[in-house]
Amino acid sequence: MQALPIYNAAILQWHATRKHLTENLRAILKLSATPEVDVDQIAKEWSKAMPKDGWKTEFTASQLFNPIQGKGQNRTKANALAMGNLKSFWLVEYLKAVGLWKCMAPRTVRNGDDRKAYVLAPITLKLGQHDNVFQDFAARLWNETAVKMDITAALLYTEVLLEHSQAGQEDELDFEGYGPENVVAGLHVVTYKLLSRNAYTMMNLGFIGLPRWTGEVRTRARVDELDDVIGEHLAVIRTIDEGRSDGYSLLVRYRDFLSGGQLEAFFDFSIGYTQYLTHELEQKHFWVRPFTLNNLRRLFMGTEPQLAEILENEGFRNIAYAIRHSTVIPQYLKAKGDHLYEVRYGLGMELKRKAAYPKEFIAALSSFLHEYNQENAQKSESKGQQRRKNVRTGDIEDVVRLVDKFGSELVCNLLVAFGYARDPREETEPIETLNTETRR
């Protein structure tokens, strides 16, 4: 990206001025003394203290090291356009150049000429701890499509940071009960586009935070749980096709959730993902997988512990079971030639459309559950088989009480999320057991 000549010049000048290391260090310490320093004054003092041997006080501010200082509107006070290259104190540029070897991961966007640079934004992380973590992270971060690579970068870094934590490896990196987002804020993300044969231009400067749903990290068991959650999310994200409009939209929603930590953004993603998942399963693309119940529960409990009252409610669980056995599970069985139960396409979106109005939501949910129980009875009479548990009146009453307390939108979003999730216990549970429970 045309940064090598400037990088080489900075390294060579550092080597050439090695006899004057004291002056260089004095200038660097002054630059780091306070958040706001007079860089021009420090540069003048350095220049006066150095022999006149032709050393440069200023270098060109490379756009790789200074993404917001390219040609055009780049002044702190937006009162003019700079059509020429900007200059910067050479020691500042030297520190940026060598620092990027410590904290930047440059990558190429798959299926294009764009490039991205991910630069770490630490909070309390020490340099010695950082070196090992970032080395492992950079080795795992491969080229991907644009939005997917942003998501993968944040999840992968969190995964590696947890592995190196005291709870994970008993080394000196300790979260002291806090989450990873209290140790590292996230990653600055710069996107460069090849606009001419030999020049990349900065097109976007953003920031993606680390997940805020990890909760407290105090034990190795908690690290293992979070590792499962992150691994599952990475697996889901990697199967979404960013080249499709619906896939791109889903990834953008998930990225908003990842950085903002707002459950509403995850619900938007989750509702959209039900449509995406249903379509892919219909095409027998079984590599596209739903989330699992355990890891969804860990995600929500890490974000909002008060949701336990909803998630542990028996009626909520039974109705989520009914949704699951009317959507994703019949689709898997259909692919195996089992057509006992009909697939309720679009059920998640249908419930979501009614979620803003409690009475309409309860009416829509009750209508679905009535049809669900009715289908169970028909299959039991006509084919002598019933592989699904009936929903009881008490289950509906439980959900009505939850709606009264927490609101219809939250309850609906959680029901759809858990209704389209996978329960490994159900996949291994014998049919005879379900029949016995149903008869009871």
Phi/psi at 303 (5° precision): -90, -50
SS3 (DSSP) at 124: coil
Whole-Å CA distances, 425 to 84, 331, 440: 65, 18, 20
Mean pLDDT of 87-112: 90
Distance of CA 155 to the CA centre of its chain: 5
Identity at 52, one-letter amino acid code: K
Task: Judge whether residue 79 has pLDDT over 70.
Answer: no
Q: Determine the pLDDT at residue 429.
A: 45
Q: Determine the pLDDT at residue 83.
A: 62
Q: How many angstroms separate the CA atoms of 440 and 311, rounded? A: 24
Q: Per mean pLDDT, which range of 196-205, 356-365, 384-393, 426-435 is the poorest?
A: 426-435
For residue range 13-32, list pLDDT tens digits in order.
999 999 999 999 999 999 99
Contact status, residue 140 vs residue 160, Cβ threshold 8 Å: yes
Other Cβ atoms less than 10 A from the Cβ of 196: the count is: 7
Q: What percent of the chain is modeled with pLDDT above 90?
A: 57
Task: Judge whether residue 230 has pLDDT over 70.
Answer: yes
Domain boundaries, the chain: 1-103, 109-261, 306-439
Mean pLDDT of 312-334: 93
* Both tokens assigned to 376: 């169970």
Contact status, residue 70 vs residue 205, Cβ threshold 8 Å: no
Contact status, residue 64 vs residue 1, Cβ threshold 8 Å: yes
**Does the predicted model carry a pTM greater than 0.95?**
no
* Structure letter (DSSP) for residue 18: G
SS3 (DSSP) at 109: coil
Tell me the longest C-alpha to C-alpha distance in the chain. 99
Buried b (16+ CB within 10 A) or exposed e, 308-335: eebbebebbbbbbbbbbbbbbbbbebbe
Q: Of all helices (H) and strands (E), which one includes residue 408?
A: helix 408-419
DSSP strand pairing (104-108 vs 58-60): unpaired
Which residues partner with 193 through β-bridges? 201
Sign of the torsion angle spanned by Cα atoms 150, 156, 161, 167? positive
* Structure letter (DSSP) for residue 292: B
* Both tokens assigned to 420: 């389209």
Q: How many angstroms separate the CA atoms of 438 and 318, rounded? A: 12
Q: How many angstroms separate the CA atoms of 322 and 391, rounded? A: 7
Which residues partner with 89 through β-bridges? 58
For residue range 388-432, list pLDDT tens digits in order.
889 999 999 999 999 999 999 999 999 999 999 988 776 544 433
Q: What is the DSSP string of 140-201?
A: H-----HHHHHHHHHHHHHHHHHHTSHHHH-SS---TTS-GGGTEEEEEEEEEEE-SSS-EE
Q: Determine the pLDDT at residue 20.
A: 93
